[in-house]
Structure formats: C-alpha cells, structure tokens
Amino acid sequence: MSKIRPKNIIKGFTSDHTEKSKNRLLVCSGCEFRNKLPLKLSNCQVCGCLVDAKSKVEEESCPMNRWKDIKKIEKKGIIVGNLSEDITDISVVDEGVIFTFKDVIKKGGPGKVNLRVINDRAGEAKQFKADELDLTHLKVKVACGCTTTSDSPTELAEGDNFDLTLSYDTERIGAFEKNVRVMSLQEEFYIQIKGEVKN
C-alpha cells in the first residue's frame, strides 16, 4: 500500500492540476477501489488517500499501479490505461495504441492484456462538438481467430470507461502482432498486442 508521503500532502492540496494528473483522475473515476463520493472528495480504498490531491504529486503512485501506463490518443479523445503486470511498453501512434509484452511467452502461457478505455473527448483538446462527445454504437472487432476479447458496452458516455481483456492464443509459436479495432459512429481506433511465443 503506498500512502501519500506526509511531505507531499500540502503539495497535493495546493498544486494545480496538470494534464497528467487529470489523466490519473480519469483512471480513478472509473476505479472499483474508489469510494463513490464526488471525485474531489473521494478516497482510494486501497491506500486511503484523497485521489484528487494525490494525483497532483508527480512522484506519488497508484497502489494498484494503474497510473503508470496511461496514454492518450490525442486526436480521438481516448485514454487507454494498462491494467496488466506483464506489459513492458505502451506506445501511441496516430490511430491507436500498441501494447508490447515484456517477456517471451512460453507456449500455452498467459497471453492476456487487461486495459481500460476512457472517453476523454471533453478533455484538453476540445476539438469535438457537444453532440460528438459520447461514443455510440461501440463495437470491438478482432482481425482473426487467434485473438479474442471480453465483452464491451455499446455506448460510452463522456468521462466513462470500460475494461477490456484481449487474449492471444499462445499455443501458436512465433512472433505476433494482432490488431483489435474499436469502432463507433463517431470514431475508430485500434489496439495492437505484440509479442513472441516460444517452446
């Protein structure tokens, strides 16, 4: 449990929000470990800290490691956060995000990526019209049978999020790069998982 260090408490209350702290708060906003008070007054039930104050202190971290890999697909108004332990890198490209596995996966071993997708279309960029802020008719599509996904909602309102699990069939030996398309009436982006399976 990583409780905010006493020397950082005042800093947390007196600093302004940055883009990074706002992204952290978006992750907290949909987190099952946050109590359901308004975000400004809300505590993390794992570390006990006020999430608003803690998010503003650069060197502080989420006790469940959910702040470490948050990436924004700028033009799409989407934030993607990593919920997995075994991902080494998340990179953002124009049209999506790429998750790369840290280690070579053993044949039949775990090949799952757990992530959180957040609708941040009202965020800093503000390039969307009011009626484009919600993502409607949402669909997640995989390119081939070696990758499957968990269920996803069909609508994602502004500020809302959902968790998605992508599973690769690790009975297949070799390097892989698999794309999953996330589509809605308003937007489309892709999530790629990348790695290698060996005997």
Contact residues: ligand SF4, CB under 6 A: 27-28, 31, 33-34, 44, 46, 51, 62-64, 66
d(CA 187, CA 183): 6
Give SS3 for 183.
strand
**Residue 27 or 105: which CB sits closer to ligand SF4?**
27
Provide, rounded to whole angstroms, the least separation between the CB of residue 17 and ligand SF4. Answer: 15
The pairing of beta strand 96-101 with beta strand 188-198: parallel
Nearer to ligand SF4, 44 or 156 (CB): 44
Shortest distance in whole angstroms from residue 168 CB to ligand SF4? 26
Taking the complex as a whole, the smallest distance from the CB of residue 27 to ligand SF4 amounts, in Å, to: 5
Residues 41 and 180: their CA atoms lie apart, in Å, by 37
Cβ at position 32, least distance to ligand SF4 in Å:
7
Beta bridge partners of 65: none
Please give the span between the terminal C-alpha atoms of the chain, in angstroms, as a whole number: 37
Three-state secondary structure call for residue 9: helix
12 in helix, strand or coil? helix
Give the residue with the Cβ less far from ligand SF4, 49 or 193: 49
Q: Between residues 43 and 167, which has the closer beta carbon with respect to ligand SF4?
A: 43
